[in-house]
Chains A and B, each alone.
Chain A
């Protein structure tokens, strides 16, 4: 007589069998003492498992109202929409900055015209107009100067109010202004400027940072922090964020700076618990897509797939400084040592 296998008895007791299977098992059980004993043993095992697992319950549970979740879902949806807008905005900003920067390179230090060719313009003040073509957030901007507009003359020191270059960014491709010789027609730049979108996508930080964060000006943050803003000297500041901490202590600060490679590193300073909490949250949060031309080269050799980069932290009394960024850990180590020495000397 074939006895009922153990797993079938589990499934039977768990009501995981079809009606016909149940009937079959029940009729067998009615006649088989061995299987009855097995069934009772398994029933006891089930009960023990349930009892053991019951001990592994969280100490407390405070469900929020469903209405709260509904509001959060609605808010998330609108944040997603805003993020898309903001990403487009950031992309055009990056394109504008990159183009302005390269225009500066081409034109020389004083914005003076080495490209002062073309029909001599009678205008008293040179007004270079730069048109950037951009097909989308990740497009490589091409830069062209129309013959008429590229009438750059050296700006005399005594000339009244030299005007800055106008930079226009167009989201969609339009016909480039005809470049006629001997006008300066700048072809797509080689190498194209690297667009590091993910790093300057400012609204992302909103999602990553919890609590009451304020994005501040450098001066404002400095005033608040008492001239001890964590940062690496000599790098452009992308963003300064400050969160007040308890007991009127110095706030928690995050300074985002951009390396010449386009990577953004963040320097964090604050009470130890806040910083480690922030770092752990940061590591947990979805690293997100990195829309980046320089991504492959930026990935650290140790963990090539990890887009979040490395984190280096250092304890200073009851406070902690940390640097995060897609850099080799040795670089971060050097940076944090320098930072530590600088902050100590202040």
Chain B
């Protein structure tokens, strides 16, 4: 417990942004589900938000140095949990992702994301130089590759991908050498055909659909097409909350979760989208500002790990909604319905709060 930090030391701007985004999300979840058998979903979402806020505040009272201290142990626990999921996990939608905790099913990979942020923050602050050596880069890569591999086995390509920007942003801030970056980039490009070979059929389909949506207007291209129709038909002012035909009649796929922005774009139009994206930009810039003002590199890496994951989520999800990216199953943080994802975001933000509060302590 720290001394001398009070309620006014919290980042109230950040909290305002967070609650605004949550508010928009709850509203759109209500609109998307109120006329269906899913009605009442917004209450569950509010419950998750409340739980998330409590966890965030709790985590923010902990010194992040003590969290980083236990990074190796946390990392091991994370790996074990991922192995446990593969061994005894609950299968839903053809993937083993859930472990039963307190009567709810928790997506272990969400916890894993948090642990990777902590582990990599610890690793990069241990490097201490401003020039990342090849050996350290390799170590960081292995550190990330192990959980990525385990998550891919579930299989959950989306979450696995989310871990990549954490290590990428970390390496960039830790001073990756340009030649190493270029070599990695080249290696990744060469890996594409190999990776393609190992993709599941539905994943391949998503990618081909993305590249040539017109070839399959009713198969998996359907989701992107319907999402684009929803967005485009919204126009500037939207059709009004609860009035989007694409949304209300169920043409938008998982309109309360991954495609919630499509539902919002249809009902609240470009105006609504503009406000939402400005909120997300403000969120991310505020996170980076927190990183810039962190007391030490460890804090900065922690905050930037969170910013990397959230930023990646936002950019990929928004790009998917307008057909700039294939369907990956990456939700929109703070808006998409889902308990595990919500708890992860608030815990991650708890770490950020923690770093900020640490600033005021000597």
Mutual binders A and B: no
Using CB atoms and an 8 Å cutoff, list the residues of chain A in contact with chain B: none
Query: Which residues of B are in contact with A by a Cβ distance under 8 Å?
Result: none
